[in-house]
């Protein structure tokens, strides 16, 4: 039995930690940071940090500037539009699949989480409450893509989600959009539970249109 290379394990850990810094906004879009600074912030040696940076660059999460460091690229309207439309493609197929499925494991509990977020939503939500609410927002999209039971789709979805999370972290928290999104999600969930495929598909499309409108990229 072959032993796992400790450097590989550290590289994986470094990548996960780096991705967390990116998706939570601790490293902002446009911010230049050196490999040495990353090593200090993540708390791991330079070698696994370099491996993590290479992987993140390959995923399109950051850009390496030779002899300077790394930078998170500023999002463009075109890229935001493409990422949301890709997510919607998976949402649509996931919704169709779930409507045709007899049982919906965890969908009722996911609905309850959305209701709870709506009950607590306010302009003065603490940071942790904001993060919890955004996690619930992502949970439905993850649930829809997971319904396809396709490993390749899961990989594509995760890469796309990471990009959208980085975009999201560069914007101020908007409780108004969160409230609207939770209501749109609840309508989608209810349509799936009602086994109404046409309604579920239409509601996913409406959710996409509203997301693009809030991001002000609906006129591309």
In angstroms, how far apart are the furthest CA atoms of the chain? Answer: 57
C-alpha span between 207 and 87 (Å, rounded): 11
Domain-by-domain residue ranges, the chain?
Answer: 6-71, 77-214
pLDDT at 171: 82
Per-residue pLDDT band at 7 (split at 50, 70, 90): low
Q: What is the pLDDT of residues 64-94, one digit of tens each?
A: 999 899 998 888 999 999 999 999 999 999 9
> pLDDT class for 4, splitting at 50, 70, 90?
very low
Mean pLDDT of the chain: 90
Task: Select the more confidently predicted residue: 1 or 30.
Answer: 30
DSSP code for 29: B
Mean of the pLDDT values across residues 188-202? 97
Distance between CA atoms of residues 95 and 92, nearest Å: 5
- Tens-digit pLDDT profile for residues 131-174: 889 999 999 999 999 999 999 999 999 999 999 999 888 888 78
Res 95 pLDDT > 90:
yes
* Token pair of 144 as six digits: 């829809």
Q: What CATH superfamily classification does 77-214 receive?
A: GntR ligand-binding domain-like (1.20.120.530)
In this structure, which topology does domain 6-71 adopt according to CATH?
Arc Repressor Mutant, subunit A (1.10.10)
């Amino acid at each position: 039995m072959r032993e796992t290379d400790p450097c590989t394990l550290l590289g994986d850990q470094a990548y996960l930690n780096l991705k967390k810094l990116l998706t939570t906004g601790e490293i902002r879009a446009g911010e230049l940071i050196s490999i040495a600074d990353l090593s200090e912030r993540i708390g791991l040696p330079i070698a696994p940090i370099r491996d993590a940076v290479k992987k993140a660059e390959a995923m399109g999460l950051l850009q390496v500037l030779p002899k300077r460091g790394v930078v998170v690229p500023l999002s463009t309207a075109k890229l935001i539009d493409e990422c949301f439309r890709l997510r919607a493609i998976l949402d649509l197929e996931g919704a169709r699949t779930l409507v045709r499925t007899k049982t919906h494991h965890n969908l009722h509990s996911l609905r309850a989480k959305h209701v709870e977020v709506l009950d607590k939503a306010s302009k003065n939500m603490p940071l942790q409450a904001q993060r919890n609410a955004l996690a619930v927002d992502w949970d439905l999209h993850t649930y829809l893509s997971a319904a396809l039971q396709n490993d390749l789709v899961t990989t594509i979805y995760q890469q796309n989600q990471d990009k959208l999370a980085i975009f999201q972290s560069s914007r101020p928290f908007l409780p108004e959009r969160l409230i609207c999104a939770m209501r749109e999600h609840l309508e989608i969930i209810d349509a799936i539970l009602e086994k109404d495929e046409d309604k579920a598909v239409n509601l996913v499309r409406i959710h996409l249109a509203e997301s693009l409108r809030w991001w002000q990229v609906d006129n591309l």
